C-alpha cells in the first residue's frame, strides 16, 4: 500500500467519479426523457384519431386531434420530473412515473403532481402530412 498522500487523493477522486456514474446510470434507467427541442417532425394525419392523440416516443412528442381537422402537438416530457408521457386514456395523456395527467385539448394539467402544462409545439398541415416544429 502506498503512503504517498497524492495517491489517496487520486483514489478518492476515482471513487467520487464512480459514484457520479452510478447516479447517471440510475437516472437513465428510470425512463426519464431528456428535454430535447429536436428538429421538425413529420407524421401522417391518418395516424391521429379524432378526439384522441398519438405519442411518438422517438420524437418525445404527442399529437392530438381534439376535433376533426384540428391538430395540436405537445412535448411528451412530463413537467413534473421529466419522465416520458406514454399513455393516452380518453381525453388525457398519462405519465407513468407519478400519475400526472394532461388534457389533450391544450396540454394543461388534469391531475398532479405536475404543476405546469406540457409545452405546446407548432403544427402545420400540408396535404396528408403534419409538420411539428
Taking the least distance from each CB to ligand FES, the nearer of 40 and 96 is 96
100 touching ligand FES, by CB under 6 A:
yes
111 touching ligand FES, by CB under 6 A:
no
Q: Please report, as residue ranges, which positions from 12 to 51 form the binding site for ligand FES (by CB under 6 A).
A: none
Taking the least distance from each CB to ligand FES, the nearer of 66 and 82 is 82
Question: By CB neighbour count within 10 A (0-12 exposed, 13-18 middle, 19+ buried), where does 51 fall?
Answer: middle
Taking the least distance from each CB to ligand FES, the nearer of 113 and 119 is 113
Question: 3-state DSSP call for residue 52?
Answer: strand
Q: Which three cell numbers stand for residue 36?
A: 430535447
78 touching ligand FES, by CB under 6 A:
yes
Taking alpha carbons only, the member of 10, 80, 18, 71 closest to residue 46 is 71
How far apart are alpha carbons 4 and 115 in whole angstroms?
Answer: 53
Q: Which of 93, 97, 123, 130 binds ligand FES (CB under 6 A)?
A: 97
Q: Is 107 left (phi over 0), alpha (psi -120 to 50) or beta?
A: left
Minimum CB distance to ligand FES, residue 84 (Å): 9
Residues forming contacts to ligand FES in the complex (CB under 6 A) are 78, 80-83, 95, 97-100, 113-114
Amino acid at each position: 500500500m502506498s503512503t504517498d498522500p497524492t495517491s489517496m487523493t487520486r483514489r478518492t477522486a476515482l471513487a467520487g467519479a464512480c459514484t457520479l456514474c452510478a447516479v447517471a446510470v440510475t437516472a437513465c434507467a428510470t425512463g426519464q426523457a431528456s428535454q430535447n427541442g429536436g428538429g421538425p417532425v413529420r407524421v401522417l394525419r391518418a395516424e391521429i384519431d379524432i378526439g384522441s392523440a398519438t405519442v411518438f416516443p422517438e420524437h418525445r412528442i404527442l399529437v392530438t386531434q381534439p376535433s376533426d381537422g384540428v391538430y395540436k402537438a405537445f412535448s411528451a416530457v412530463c413537467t413534473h420530473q421529466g419522465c416520458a408521457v406514454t399513455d393516452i386514456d380518453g381525453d388525457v395523456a398519462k405519465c407513468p412515473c407519478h400519475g400526472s395527467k394532461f388534457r389533450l385539448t391544450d396540454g394543461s394539467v388534469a391531475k398532479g403532481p405536475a404543476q405546469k402544462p406540457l409545452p405546446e409545439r407548432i403544427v402545420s398541415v400540408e396535404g396528408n402530412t403534419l409538420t411539428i416544429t
